[in-house]
Amino acid sequence: MKNLTQRSIGTLALAAALVACSTEGKGSQERHRPEHASIDAKAEHVNRPLDRYFLSPQDVLQIRKAEASLTNRCMRNLHYASHPLPMPRLEHEESNLSEFLIFPVSQAREHGYEVARKASDSDTEWKSRATRTQIALLDGTLRQYKRKTVPKGGCSAFAAQTLMRGTRHQRIQIDGMSITHDASATPDGIFDTVLSAMRYSTAVKSDSDERVKSVTEEWSSCMQKAGFHYASPAEAATDSRWSKGNRPTKLETSVAVADMKCKKEVRYLDTVVEVQSENERNMAAEQSTTLKSLQKDLKVWLSNARKEVNRQPA
């Protein structure tokens, strides 16, 4: 389903863009060391300025419940009732340190860079059991079914457009990137795409910051002392020698452990988060009109979602 898969812009890809910093030209000035970055060590969560604009887990749940209900209703109206979309559950916030290619040393020792290689798709299990006919009804490639006319764009588009009723599609510009969405894009997908694009843009800016370059050089020097030669954390995590299977090699786990220890030693995370947070504050100010517009639309989208959820069971 296009509206489901659009929800993620690729968090680990963003992390790679953030940490793949250039190390050309060693800085001669002493690097500013932040006193404190906004990191909740107990929850293993990094807090950044743009976080406040992402949808809350409760809002996402409300929208996805309505999406599932609308999609299933559309499918029933077409006389296709098998294998309905399941009602989603509340997703609790998890550690986001993997965005910075940081994870516990114990995990590095056991699994190497496994967390950096894996990309999750919460819809994979459901999709694996969906029939071709069902997919065609969802995306609209099948226009007629059992003498019924399939809505334009399919049941996915029907659900999305119902949720979006009362607002209009808009083209959003972010640092040269033009963001548009198709008829099957749902509110949570739009928010995730726009805000992730903003976050990606701030991460790219962080790459050229002298503080990030400097701490990356310090990390690289620390790794060399441990016997490993990498210019950046992304280079270490994506080494082509690492196992693509279930079990990492001894070399991979050794590098991963040294990587985590060196990041802690040079205060890598503090520096990167501090720099990215500065850029995110600037981005929020620059995109204030867009953010206010999205938040205004969200009130309408949530109202539409509540009406659908209260209307009838999926």
pLDDT tens, 194-203? 999 999 999 9
pLDDT at 96: 84
- Asked if residue 27 is part of any domain, the answer here is no
**Which whole number is the average pLDDT over 223-243?**
94
Residue 139 CA to residue 156 CA, distance in Å, equals 6
- Asked if residue 180 is part of any domain, the answer here is yes
- Asked if residue 8 is part of any domain, the answer here is yes
pLDDT at 28: 32
* Percent of the chain whose pLDDT exceeds 70: 82
- Asked if residue 109 is part of any domain, the answer here is no
The rounded mean pLDDT for the chain is 84
Least confident piece of the model among 161-170, 202-211, 252-261: 161-170
**Which whole number is the average pLDDT over 184-190?**
89
pLDDT tens, 51-82? 999 999 999 999 999 999 999 999 999 999 89
- Asked if residue 227 is part of any domain, the answer here is yes
pLDDT at 40: 62
What is the chain's percent helix, strand, coil content, to nearest 5? 55, 5, 40
Whether 114 shows a pLDDT value over 80: the answer reads yes
**Which whole number is the average pLDDT over 239-268?**
91
Least confident piece of the model among 64-68, 118-122, 260-264: 118-122
Q: For residue 294, count CB atoms less than 10 angstroms from its CB and return exposed for 0-12, middle for 13-18, buried for 19 or more.
A: buried
Read off the pLDDT band of 304 (50, 70, 90): very high
- Asked if residue 81 is part of any domain, the answer here is yes
Read off the pLDDT band of 45 (50, 70, 90): confident
Tokens of 310: 């209260």
**Which whole number is the average pLDDT over 217-243?**
95
Tokens of 84: 């309905």
| Dihedral angle sign, alpha carbons of residues 64, 66, 68, 74 | negative
**Which whole number is the average pLDDT over 265-282?**
95
Please count the other Cβ atoms lying within 10 Å of the Cβ belonging to residue 80: 22
Residue 5 CA to residue 123 CA, distance in Å, equals 8
pLDDT tens, 13-31? 333 334 343 333 333 333 4
**Is the Cβ–Cβ distance between 98 and 115 less than 8 Å?**
yes
Distances (CA, A) of 233 to 157, 230, 239, 266: 41, 7, 10, 13
pLDDT at 183: 77
- Asked if residue 175 is part of any domain, the answer here is yes
Please count the other Cβ atoms lying within 10 Å of the Cβ belonging to residue 2: 20
Residue 149 CA to residue 155 CA, distance in Å, equals 11
Residue 299 is part of which domain span? Answer: 2-16+39-94+117-311
**Which whole number is the average pLDDT over 154-167?**
94
**Which whole number is the average pLDDT over 231-247?**
88
Read off the pLDDT band of 3 (50, 70, 90): very low
- Asked if residue 78 is part of any domain, the answer here is yes
Number of domains in the chain: 1
